[in-house]
Amino acid sequence: MTQLTLPEGMQITGEIKPGFEQILTPDALALVAKLSRAFEPRRQQLLAARVARAARLDAGERPDFLPETAHIRAGDWKIAPIPKALECRRVEITGPVERKMVINAFNSGADSYMTDFEDSNTPNWDNQLSGQINMRDAVRRTISLEQNGKSYQLNDKIATLVVRPRGWHLDEKHVLVDGKRISGGIFDFALFLFHNAKEQLARGAGPYFYLPKMESHLEARLWNDIFVMAQNEIGIPQGTIKATVLIETIVAAFEMDEILYELREHSAGLNAGRWDYIFSCIKKFKNDKDFCLADRAKVTMTAPFMRSYALLLLKTCHKRNAPAIGGMAALIPIKNDPEKNEIAMGGVRTDKARDASDGYDGGWVAHPGLVELAMTEFKKVLGDAPNQMSKQRPDVEVTAKDLLNFQPETPITEAGLRYNINVGIHYLGAWLAGNGCVPIHNLMEDAATAEISRSQVWQWIRSAKGMLEDGQGNKTKVTADMVRAMIPQELVKVKEVAGSGATYDRAAQIFEQMSTSENFAEFLTLPLYEEI
């Protein structure tokens, strides 16, 4: 095994495979250590503040716009100008840092590509380090792959790269500084920045990031302070780093102006991260007996609370000259069934047409086969314009009550319950085996959609409104015993599709435990991470 030269006080327990030492260089690790020591205490304080706030919500408190930041919401300020490479983001493709997927995403025809060290990626040591190698090679345009007799390399024209590090709640357990695990997000960010920022600047772009799972403007301030220190450390001008924040928690929706303000020198706008947003709503109001959402398939972007959130995000961004990027259409092409495929593609068309006509500057897709379709819908509205930031929405008025108008509550069906169980087991099994991005039932599932599945089941068991409807007027209460009885049945179906494997049996056990236990686990990925 290759020996590394580590900064004082740092331990690395992960295996150093050939090539990893080119990423884990002394200077790169020194930056990781410096940022960790400077900011870990604040990360822990902010995570503790999340727990305290969750307890208040569990006790019945309702989120609202902050009185102490009213002057920021009312102020006439704008974010710093957007670099040319980020002006046009009509279609963004996302996917994990796996080498073939990286090449295909860059070549997809999308304007930009969010490469993901987070939700669509199992963050095991190999994935994180090989992902960094893939990023280094992609930035230098030397990335290639020979696989199954096929050759993969980059086209002349490729998408602009945007990197998503892990969220604040995730540790990197293989790296300790002064005896404590470090932040997974700082680890991902610092290594990428150190190795690629100057190269990206020389090539006419820059180090651009997506920041996930934030719950407050203070968490955005933490990222901003990290950017300031990191830019000084590696010797690039302040404001070079640009970051788009995913608004994917209900509490962050009340602080969108403030989040943009904190990052104003480094902001590249906001994104409506819809799947995590739905999960966040379930999680934050899990103990509210009056809260209950219908089958996952019924909770669409036209649901009142989702529509309010999407329009408020758009209005907030454009008021501050910030890009507004629409969320993920999780549907993927269905190659063996033209009829089903046409329905799925119609769903994507409608979704992107709504975003474009509302005023969004772009939207996400999960599959290269959707890029052209999504691009067509945005071009119908934008024409040759790179974005529509000039489209202000003074007509949009969204109140706290609108953001908390959780509909639809019905129907909840046996098919919907079984779907959640099936997706939960299938995704967990794939994640444990090292794959965090899985096509299931013609949708591209990642950790966010799996979180909706298990949190809905947990909440339906506990809510008085968690009643199955059979369409004949009959209602049956969802119970833990009912769920336990369905799990082995759905496990059989998963194995028929995915093949048998020890990870699926373990996934079924984990799903049962997490959906029926008294206590609600904050994130699916936290206990899972300890198993890989």
446 is annotated as an active-site residue: yes
- 8 A C-beta contact, residue 164 and residue 114: yes
Return d(Cα 85, Cα 87) in angstroms, integer.
Answer: 6
- 47 neighbors 214 (Cβ within 8 angstroms): no
Question: Can you tell me the distance from the alpha carbon of 262 to that of 314, in angstroms, rounded to the nearest whole number?
Answer: 18
- Element spanning 493, H or E: helix 480-498
Tokens found for residue 474:
């009959």
DSSP string for 405-434: -------B-HHHHHHHHHHHHHHHHHHHTT
Q: How far is CA 473 from each of CA 290, 411, 468, 476, rounded to the nearest angstrom?
A: 21, 11, 10, 10
Q: For residues 95 and 113, what is the distance between their CA atoms, to the nearest angstrom? A: 8
Active-site position among 119, 361, 446, 454: 446
**Looking at this protein, which amino acid is placed at residue 3?**
Q
421, burial (CB in 10 Å: exposed 0-12, middle 13-18, buried 19+): buried
Q: Is 416:297 a contact under the CB 8 Å cutoff?
A: yes
The angle formed by the CA atoms of residues 163, 366 and 509, to the nearest 5 degrees, is: 95
Q: What does the alpha-carbon distance between residue 525 and residue 428 come to, in Å, rounded to a whole number?
A: 9
7 prior amide bond cis, ω within 30: no
| Contact predicate 359/310, CB 8 Å | no
Token readout for 531 is 């198993």
- Is residue 164 part of the annotated active site? The answer reads yes
Place of tokens 């997809």: 108
What is the token pair recorded at 121? Answer: 């990626």
Q: Using CA atoms, how far apart are residues 70 and 76, in angstroms rounded to an integer? A: 12
Measure Cα distances from 216 to 70, 168, 258, 507 in Å.
15, 12, 8, 32
How many Å apart are CA 280 and CA 277, to the nearest integer?
A: 5
Q: Do residues 83 and 242 touch, judged by C-beta distance below 8 A?
A: yes
Question: How far is residue 257's CA from residue 320's CA, in Å, rounded to a whole number?
Answer: 8
Catalytic residue among 43, 90, 164, 320: 164
Q: Is 228 exposed, middle or buried (0-12, 13-18, 19+ CB in 10 A)?
A: middle
Active site residues: 164, 446
